[in-house]
Amino acid sequence: MPRRAREKSKSGIYHIMLRGINRQDLFEDDEDRLKFIETLAFYKEKRL
């Protein structure tokens, strides 16, 4: 039985959890990490 779709938050606030399979590193280096943070910041600004 499939699970129900998540409901959208009325506040627009969500918790983001990042974890690699078998706790592998998600980012190869600081450049990858920075790009991810910049992408989050971009969409955060777009949302506001």
**Tens digits of per-residue pLDDT, 29-48?**
999 999 999 998 998 888 76
Number of Cβ within 10 Å of residue 36's Cβ equals 13
Residue 24: is its pLDDT beyond 70? yes
Cα–Cα dist 38/44, whole Å: 10
Averaged pLDDT score across all residues of the chain: 85
Q: What Rg do the C-alpha atoms of the chain give, in angstroms? A: 15
Q: Give pLDDT, residue 48.
A: 65
Q: Give pLDDT, residue 38.
A: 95
8 pLDDT tier (thresholds 50, 70, 90) = confident
pTM of the model: 0.57
